[in-house]
Amino acid sequence: MGKFPIADAEISKIWICKRCKRRNRAGVEKCRWCGSKYLRPKKKALKAKKA
Ligand SMILES: [Zn+2]
Protein backbone atom coordinates (compact mmCIF):
# COMPACT_ATOMS: atom_id res chain seq x y z
CA MET A 1 0.00 0.00 0.00
CA GLY A 2 1.13 3.50 -0.68
CA LYS A 3 1.02 6.63 1.30
CA PHE A 4 -2.48 7.47 0.25
CA PRO A 5 -5.03 4.82 1.15
CA ILE A 6 -7.80 6.66 -0.61
CA ALA A 7 -5.86 6.90 -3.81
CA ASP A 8 -5.01 3.23 -3.55
CA ALA A 9 -8.65 2.40 -3.17
CA GLU A 10 -9.49 4.45 -6.22
CA ILE A 11 -6.73 2.92 -8.26
CA SER A 12 -7.81 -0.55 -7.35
CA LYS A 13 -11.17 0.15 -8.96
CA ILE A 14 -9.60 1.00 -12.26
CA TRP A 15 -8.48 -1.20 -15.06
CA ILE A 16 -6.36 0.04 -17.85
CA CYS A 17 -6.91 -0.97 -21.42
CA LYS A 18 -3.72 -2.21 -22.94
CA ARG A 19 -4.78 -1.10 -26.34
CA CYS A 20 -5.99 2.44 -25.87
CA LYS A 21 -4.58 3.00 -22.40
CA ARG A 22 -7.82 4.39 -21.14
CA ARG A 23 -9.37 3.72 -17.82
CA ASN A 24 -12.20 1.33 -17.26
CA ARG A 25 -13.95 0.19 -14.17
CA ALA A 26 -12.55 -2.91 -12.59
CA GLY A 27 -14.40 -6.03 -13.56
CA VAL A 28 -15.46 -5.00 -17.01
CA GLU A 29 -14.97 -7.62 -19.68
CA LYS A 30 -14.22 -5.26 -22.49
CA CYS A 31 -12.88 -1.79 -22.79
CA ARG A 32 -15.77 0.61 -23.01
CA TRP A 33 -13.79 2.80 -25.37
CA CYS A 34 -12.30 0.47 -27.95
CA GLY A 35 -13.87 -2.89 -27.10
CA SER A 36 -10.55 -4.54 -26.45
CA LYS A 37 -10.46 -7.36 -23.98
CA TYR A 38 -6.90 -6.66 -23.04
CA LEU A 39 -7.35 -5.03 -19.71
CA ARG A 40 -5.22 -5.08 -16.68
CA PRO A 41 -5.81 -3.88 -13.18
CA LYS A 42 -3.99 -0.73 -12.36
CA LYS A 43 -1.59 -1.44 -9.58
CA LYS A 44 0.94 0.45 -7.59
CA ALA A 45 3.02 0.92 -10.65
CA LEU A 46 3.95 4.51 -10.10
CA LYS A 47 6.51 3.90 -7.50
CA ALA A 48 10.12 4.78 -8.06
CA LYS A 49 10.04 5.06 -11.78
CA LYS A 50 11.92 8.30 -12.03
CA ALA A 51 15.00 8.12 -9.95
ZN1 LIG B 1 -9.45 0.36 -24.93
In a domain, 24, yes or no: yes
34-45: per-residue pLDDT in tens? Answer: 999 999 887 765
The verdict on pTM exceeding 0.85 is no
In a domain, 51, yes or no: no
- CA 40 to ligand 1 centroid distance, Å: 11
- CA 6 to ligand 1 centroid distance, Å: 25
pLDDT greater at residue 13 or residue 51:
13
- CA 47 to ligand 1 centroid distance, Å: 24
- Burial of 14 per CB tally in 10 Å (0-12, 13-18, 19+): middle
Domains in the chain, number: 1
In a domain, 49, yes or no: no
- CA 24 to ligand 1 centroid distance, Å: 8
